[in-house]
Structure 1
Amino acid sequence: MGESRPAGNGPARTPAPRDATALAPAAPSLHPGAWWLWALGLGTAATRTTNPLLLALLLTTSAYVVLTCRPNTPWSRSYSAFFKLALAVLLIRLFFVVALGSPIPGTHVIVTLPEVPLPHWAQGIRLGGRVTAEGVLFALYDGLRLATLLVCVGAANALASPSRLLKSLPGALYEAGVAVVVALTFAPRLIADVQRLRAARRLRGRPDRGLRGLLQVALPVLEGALERSVALAAAMDARGYGRTADVPAPVRRTTAVLTLGGLLGVCAGTYGLLTAAGGTYGLPVLVAGVVAALAGLRLGGRRSPRTRYRPDRWTPRACLVAGSGVAVAALMTAAGSAEPEALHPGVVPLVAPTLPLWPAAAVLLGLLPAFLPRER
């Protein structure tokens, strides 16, 4: 049969070329370790202050970066769950202060609750009594710091792929990394299952709230979790999880000495940095411990032979993202020594917290990932 041509004397039309973007490979995503370093930097900065204005700025920074940069994946929806968990922690902290009292002395009484008498063996504990503004503010500042740390961890969990993070771990940490990744992916998948089942029940006109709805949703969620556990165990067994290679005995001893000594050095160096008396030896011991631990992990990787398919690369954008988080942590640590009163506002006597300028500018460095151009 002849080839069909359009009517007319003109030449035959050629098919339009396909869109080049449809055939082009997807743009490489950021290294997951960069997101975790960025989030841990913000979390470290949160532990260095109890100023509610700085903590609120850290929360705003992490939320803006997550909303701007998170991918459309199941684990990216876990940020709201961590935010609700942080709010629950804050409310529980305030509840215990109101119900059990606070060791902070105060003169500004908010309310006086009925006090329950306790036996003599429970001296030092009270139920009810006076609730002072100083005690409530101290609990609010302390709880907000812990809540900010939880939100920063949730930001890392929403931005970084757990499976890609596992591929980037050294061979010596592979087995521990698998356990951590399974634990980190459990919460997002559980939340996704609950949302999917509730949406299905709403479409069928069935209740998805209350005790009855909770019970009818919990059973399928538990069943799905058990099925995933069995499938994960079978996949790990098929891929040789837990296998080790034979290494000489001197290498094993050297690995153990370097790893144990490095961890002890890290602990001693961190203690020295946190105390005034150990300021001279803290940093050198910490650096030596980190170097020894990394050398031990490098040697320990010989016992876990494995290959990586398309390993993630540290691109310039990944280095900038990680560097911004490290810079926030370093500048806030320096600000804690230079301006301790601004970073830790007092509650006895009551003073209004102020926003220090250059620590606030240091926190704003954490917004850098939201304004960096995407990699092509």
Structure 2
Amino acid sequence: GPTAGRTDTATHRLPAWRAPAANRSNAVPAGAWWLWALGLATAASRTTNPLLLGLLVGVAGYVVAARRTDAPWARSYGMFIRIGLFVIAVRLLFSVFLGSPIPGTHTLFTLPELPLPDWARGVRIGGRVTAEQLLFALYDGAKLAALLICVGAANSLANPARLLKSLPGALYEAGVAVVVAMTFAPNMVADVLRLRTARRLRGRPTGGVRAVLQIGLPVLEGALERSVAVAASMDARGYGRTARVPAAVRHTTNVLTLGGLLGVCAGTYGLLAAEGAGYGLPLLAAGLLAATAGLRLGGARSVRTRYRPDRWGVRAWLIAGSGAAVAAAMVWAGNADPAALHPGVVPLTAPVLPLWPAAAVLLGLCPAVIAPVPPSPTGFQEQV
């Protein structure tokens, strides 16, 4: 009856808050994902609190799990997590065997100390290992690991080919090299998984030195074939050809770009240093303007055209803005309450989770709600 029809329609109607399915028209630009991830990485670089760092890693991991596709580069997030754990382990080993300037009273164990000459005074190998120095090394390594994992989230969510479209014309050659380098490792991992699966289906072993050698040769052969194919396609499309511009424009471009980059470096140093807060921001703004003008002039040499450039809609700006909001909140919290973001290790104290910085970190979850939902593995990446 009519009631049943209305009930069936209401049952199949999507909720109003649900994000749409991803397609060509509403795909999030790669630059928005990178700005979001760099905002989280900036926030991670401003704290050594393990609770906040774990929250940042959890936010990045949840967004990756909710919005990554089945493309080869989307599988690289696990590799960045392993790299982060390796960084923490190396930092702890260096602290154990090379010592630490952090004083401590809680001795865990003592290693045999290697005597060093007088010119190496201040450096020791072995000796007493305290809980304070290990905790300090753990905090320091966790900060670097969280930064790497946040960058890995952008590498898993952003399509490198679409990122290349957003680069200025002056950086096109460098961008091509970076994109090729970023896509080489994921494709190689995909080849290894494919060959291991094929060997397993044929009843052949997938472990051992012999199996690794037999898998490695086809992988290298496939990488070489892809390199030759990429070089041929780039040459067919006129890669490296530039337009003629007057000498005055080239010199002006070099001056603006070099001066702008120097201004950005000096302004960034001024913002990080305690004494340069007054001149850091104006110098950084002037450097950014000069570098932008130099890149715009340098783009006149590029004769390439853009096919279907990325559109920055409301969703893209919200995704990039959420990362910037997390970074800004963490920078402000570091100035307002530095003790909460940098827990002490002497004396040994348990870290405390500051509430409003933690709430600000949760703003990084916005892409998991507003970004388009990736479809099931049906070849979406080939469409875009």
Q: Aligned partners of 1:263, 1:211: CA distance in 2, in Å?
A: 48
Quickly say closer, same or farther: Cα 1:317–1:256, change in 2 above 3 A. same
Deviation sequence 1:43-92 (CA, Å, 0-9, x none): 01000000000000000000000000111211111111111111111111
Alignment of 1:337-356 (within 5 A): 337-356=335-354
Which of the residues 61, 65, 68 maps onto 1:67?
Answer: 65
Larger radius of gyration: 1
Structure 1 length as normaliser, TM-score?
Answer: 0.90
Deviation sequence 1:215-252 (CA, Å, 0-9, x none): 22222222222222222222222211111100112211
Aligned residue in 1 for 2:378: none
Structure 1 residues without counterparts, runs of 5 or longer? 1-23
Aligned residue in 2 for 1:105: 103
Q: Aligned partners of 2:178, 2:262: CA distance in 1, in Å?
A: 22
C-alpha contact (below 8 Å) 2:28/2:371 kept by paired residues: no
Aligned residue in 2 for 1:239: 237
1:27 Cα offset (Å): 5.2
Q: Aligned partners of 2:83, 2:60: CA distance in 1, in Å?
A: 16
Q: Aligned partners of 1:217, 1:123: CA distance in 2, in Å?
A: 50
Percent of aligned pairs sharing the same letter: 71
Quickly say closer, same or farther: Cα 1:57–1:240, change in 2 above 3 A. same
User: Is 1:368 matched with 2:378?
Assistant: no
Q: Aligned partners of 1:216, 1:91: CA distance in 2, in Å?
A: 32
Quickly say closer, same or farther: Cα 1:275–1:307, change in 2 above 3 A. same
C-alpha contact (below 8 Å) 1:50/1:145 kept by paired residues: yes
Letter in 1 for 2:256: L
Q: Secondary structure at the match of 1:131?
A: strand
Alignment of 1:156-171 (within 5 A): 156-171=154-169
1:318 Cα offset (Å): 0.4
C-alpha contact (below 8 Å) 1:41/1:326 kept by paired residues: yes
Aligned residue in 1 for 2:184: 186
Q: Aligned partners of 1:79, 1:146: CA distance in 2, in Å?
A: 16
Aligned residue in 2 for 1:327: 325
Q: Aligned partners of 1:143, 1:275: CA distance in 2, in Å?
A: 22
Structure 2 length as normaliser, TM-score?
Answer: 0.88
Aligned residue in 2 for 1:211: 209
Which of the residues 312, 315, 322 maps onto 2:313?
Answer: 315
User: Is 1:34 matched with 2:44?
Assistant: no
Q: Could you tell which deviates more after superposition, 277-286 or 32-41?
A: 277-286
Alignment of 1:288-299 (within 5 A): 288-299=286-297
Letter in 1 for 2:246: P
Q: Aligned partners of 1:212, 1:109: CA distance in 2, in Å?
A: 46
Structure 2 residues without counterparts, runs of 5 or longer? 1-21, 375-384
Aligned residue in 1 for 2:248: 250
Letter in 2 for 1:75: W
Q: Could you tell which deviates more after superposition, 297-306 or 198-207?
A: 198-207
Quickly say closer, same or farther: Cα 1:310–1:153, change in 2 above 3 A. same
Letter in 1 for 2:166: S
C-alpha contact (below 8 Å) 1:107/1:132 kept by paired residues: yes
Letter in 1 for 2:248: P
Letter in 2 for 1:254: T
Aligned residue in 2 for 1:43: 41
Letter in 2 for 1:266: V
Q: Aligned partners of 1:118, 1:194: CA distance in 2, in Å?
A: 46
The aligned length equals 353
Q: Aligned partners of 1:60, 1:339: CA distance in 2, in Å?
A: 23
Aligned residue in 2 for 1:55: 53
Deviation sequence 1:351-373 (CA, Å, 0-9, x none): 11111111111110000011116
Q: Could you tell which deviates more after superposition, 290-299 or 220-229?
A: 220-229
Q: Aligned partners of 2:23, 2:371: CA distance in 1, in Å?
A: 18
Aligned residue in 2 for 1:84: 82
C-alpha contact (below 8 Å) 1:105/1:348 kept by paired residues: yes
Q: Could you tell which deviates more after superposition, 202-211 or 62-71?
A: 202-211
Q: Aligned partners of 1:275, 1:127: CA distance in 2, in Å?
A: 32
Q: Aligned partners of 1:144, 1:222: CA distance in 2, in Å?
A: 34
Letter in 2 for 1:229: S
Q: Aligned partners of 1:137, 1:373: CA distance in 2, in Å?
A: 38
Quickly say closer, same or farther: Cα 1:245–1:81, change in 2 above 3 A. same
Letter in 1 for 2:203: G
Letter in 1 for 2:172: Y
Quickly say closer, same or farther: Cα 1:200–1:125, change in 2 above 3 A. farther
Q: Aligned partners of 2:54, 2:347: CA distance in 1, in Å?
A: 23
Quickly say closer, same or farther: Cα 1:210–1:135, change in 2 above 3 A. farther
C-alpha contact (below 8 Å) 1:28/1:375 kept by paired residues: no
C-alpha contact (below 8 Å) 2:67/2:371 kept by paired residues: no
Letter in 2 for 1:143: G
Q: Secondary structure at the match of 1:149?
A: helix
Alignment of 1:215-234 (within 5 A): 215-234=213-232
Aligned residue in 2 for 1:3: none
1:327 Cα offset (Å): 0.7
Q: Aligned partners of 2:96, 2:211: CA distance in 1, in Å?
A: 33
Which of the residues 134, 139, 142 maps onto 2:140?
Answer: 142
Q: Aligned partners of 2:83, 2:129: CA distance in 1, in Å?
A: 25
